[in-house]
Structure 1
Amino acid sequence: MLKSLMLCFCLAACALPSGVARAETHPGEAALVREVARATGKSPKALTAILDKAKMQQSIIDAMNRPAEAKPWRDYRPIFMTDKRIGEGVAFYRANRVLVDDTARKYGVAPEIIVAIVGVETSYGKVLGKYKVIDALVTLAFYYPKRAPFFREQLKALLMLPDNHLAGPIDTLVGSYAGAQGWGQFMPTSIRDWGVDADGNGHIDMRHSLPDILASVANYFAKHGWEAGGPVAMRAQPDGSPELPEINDFVPRWSLEQFMAWGFAPLQHTDPGREATVVRLDGPMGDEYWFTFNNFLVITKYNRSPLYAMAVNQLAQAIATQVRGSTVLQ
């Protein structure tokens, strides 16, 4: 009797209409597959196979909840401003100076900023991340509600990228816990929108092609409004306890002259009419105040943390000082 019931059950299951949805491996997976398939013509079966193999990893969520940028400046700065990282940046710049300078000139971006970005992001290509990109994006798109819309868009972009925009098959790509790839740690939408095939081989390779890597970083900055020769940040000296307007972002809205009227003086000579804003950082000796300009805002488009932007700026200055004997106008 039991065998007969089991046989009937199996036959009924086999007779289910083909349109009946299969159980999802990840919540929301089927809808994403339909969107990508419609937009690209890619096989839903192949897309589903890629997502089915991806694993949700709690360690990725844990890492998202304790970013380095949550540290105070006095603890964050020593991570990046070390003799080793500065020395390796100088060596990298000197070894690739023609390529770096040509790329910087083409895009109108300071060469030391390009070098500092790959220095802060991946120690000049030596630390590219240990997580499978597909695992990171699936985890954050489907299991991290706090930022799920952003990461769902990144996962969708990854699945939609043409093969010649990736450094290998999707399930082999390795990067950060946030799903960023290559020396410059580009997210999929950044590869799509600002990646450059600088070596002309028909591929955008953010992992193995130094021309592509440097050009993509420079292009990102150029397209986000980098001002050639412009300042990034400058120490500000408060006079007593000055009152400031409410500042909630890094957009330079007020002239230095206005800040001086409010009781903040620049510690070096510059155009009093230049627009700036003020950023306060928790330094080792207490509060540090900095005038920040348009180029600082542009760096925060790459990573929205003011600590990140300041670390890139100071690493760039240190590299420029040793390579050229003087800093750019900072």
Structure 2
Amino acid sequence: MKTYLFILILAVSHHALAKVDLRQVDAFIDQTAAELNLEPQWVRSIVSQAKHQQSIIDAMNRPAEKVLQWHDYRNIFLTDKRTLEGVDFWNKHEAVIDQVVEQSGVPAEVIVAIIGVETFYGRIKGNHKVLDALYTLAFDYPKRSKFFTKELKNFIQLAHEQHINPLEAKGSYAGAMGYGQFMPSSYRAYAVDYEADQVIDLINNPQDAIASVANYLNKHKWKSGGAVLRQVTKPSVEMKFNQLKPHQKDHKTQAEYTVLQLDMADGSQQYWQGFHNFYVISRYNHSHMYVMAVYQLAEAIKAARQEVSS
């Protein structure tokens, strides 16, 4: 019996290793060390401890944005609890948010709503090791291997620059980190040191996270005072709108010509026209259901806060 179990364990281990071509891993280590001017042995000491996780592949193949209808997706994020905790988060960080809004032009409710949708205001940041997630997706997810290989390289560089422990950092199954769930490349490109203390910490510091979410939207050309969405009647053919189902990802169409069709719980449909800032939020997450959830949560938080203060 013990011999059988030993053979079974070896078989399972071999199956897990077989999913990753170790020659590709070695080539990645050498290339990354050379490109980033890092000690090869240091890079290898990190990557060699990464573990392939089949659960990450499974999660990537069934994201909520692809398997849920709008009314189910909406019920996850548009709750009284998430709205009221959004008000609390806003009040707690009001001084920081006010300053960030003035500098970026991005409304407070949108900043708060993104953090609310992404991590429930920092409560749910993800339990996957970022290293495992990026390693698995870089070397065993062919359709997006190029993207995640780049993100793994950025993660190693980020660990070197910001002294993040690459073996301990946790995030989403896609390797996103912190309050705002930034991928490593976005972390390096858009993260802000709000307190000017020479440390950019999006994982534990909500002030850096607030400033970074706003900076991300600002750098993607947020229009201060501009609209995000408005509800419209069903578009006619003559209107020449590009009608999209919420699962679709449209990167080329001008936002002003996009109408989002949402399936409601009673079987009816709603139609919402997107504007430029709709497109900007979609740079954060390309799912149109995600943008709608952020928009509606932002409006709910803003209304609840005004009601409390009135």
TM band (smaller chain):
0.7 to 0.9
| Counterpart residue number, 2:209 | 213
1:274-326 deviations in Å (ceiling 9; x for gaps) = x4421112222322110110111011100000000000000000011112349
Amino acid at match of 1:222: N
Aligned partners of 2:242 and 2:258 also within 8 Å: no
1:240: how far off?
7.3
Moved more, 156-165 or 225-234: 156-165
Aligned partners of 1:40 and 1:160 also within 8 Å: yes
Provide the TM-score with structure 2 as the length reference. Answer: 0.85
Q: In the aligned structure 2, how far is the partner of 1:253 from the partner of 1:66?
A: 28
Q: In the aligned structure 2, how far is the partner of 1:240 from the partner of 1:251?
A: 21
Taking structure 1 as reference, are residues 246 and 221 closer, same or farther at Cα in structure 2, changes over 3 Å only? closer
| Counterpart residue number, 2:153 | 156
Amino acid at match of 2:280: V
Taking structure 1 as reference, are residues 246 and 214 closer, same or farther at Cα in structure 2, changes over 3 Å only? closer
Taking structure 1 as reference, are residues 246 and 308 closer, same or farther at Cα in structure 2, changes over 3 Å only? closer
Alignment of 1:31-46 (within 5 A): 31-46=27-42
Aligned partners of 1:251 and 1:276 also within 8 Å: no
Taking structure 1 as reference, are residues 201 and 300 closer, same or farther at Cα in structure 2, changes over 3 Å only? same
Structure 1 unaligned residues grouped into runs of 5+: 1-23, 255-274
Equivalent residue in structure 2 for 1:204, among 196, 200, 205: 200
Superposition CA RMSD, Å: 2.1
Provide the TM-score with structure 1 as the length reference. Answer: 0.80
Q: In the aligned structure 2, how far is the partner of 1:92 from the partner of 1:245?
A: 38
| Counterpart residue number, 2:270 | 288
Q: In the aligned structure 1, how far is the partner of 2:235 from the partner of 2:60?
A: 39
Amino acid at match of 2:51: K
Greater CA radius of gyration, 1 or 2?
1
Q: In the aligned structure 1, how far is the partner of 2:22 from the partner of 2:305?
A: 50
1:113: how far off?
0.5
Does 2:88 align with 1:91?
yes
Q: In the aligned structure 2, how far is the partner of 1:97 from the partner of 1:147?
A: 39
Does 2:150 align with 1:165?
no
Amino acid at match of 1:311: A
1:163: how far off?
3.4
Aligned partners of 2:77 and 2:117 also within 8 Å: yes
SS at match of 2:48: helix
Amino acid at match of 1:32: F
Alignment of 1:231-242 (within 5 A): 231-238=227-234
1:236-295 deviations in Å (ceiling 9; x for gaps) = 1127786745557266648xxxxxxxxxxxxxxxxxxxx442111222232211011011
| Counterpart residue number, 2:285 | 303
SS at match of 2:272: strand
The structure in which a higher percent of residues are helix is 2
Amino acid at match of 2:276: N
Alignment of 1:1-330 (within 5 A): 26-70=22-66, 71-161=68-158, 163-165=160-162, 168-238=164-234, 244-246=240-242, 249=250, 253=254, 275-285=256-266, 286-325=268-307
Q: In the aligned structure 1, how far is the partner of 2:263 from the partner of 2:202?
A: 34
1:18-40 deviations in Å (ceiling 9; x for gaps) = xxxxxx97451112112221122
1:100: how far off?
1.0
Q: In the aligned structure 2, how far is the partner of 1:305 from the partner of 1:214?
A: 22
Structure 2 unaligned residues grouped into runs of 5+: 1-19, 245-249
SS at match of 1:278: strand
Amino acid at match of 1:283: M
Q: In the aligned structure 1, how far is the partner of 2:286 from the partner of 2:24?
A: 28
Aligned partners of 1:116 and 1:315 also within 8 Å: yes
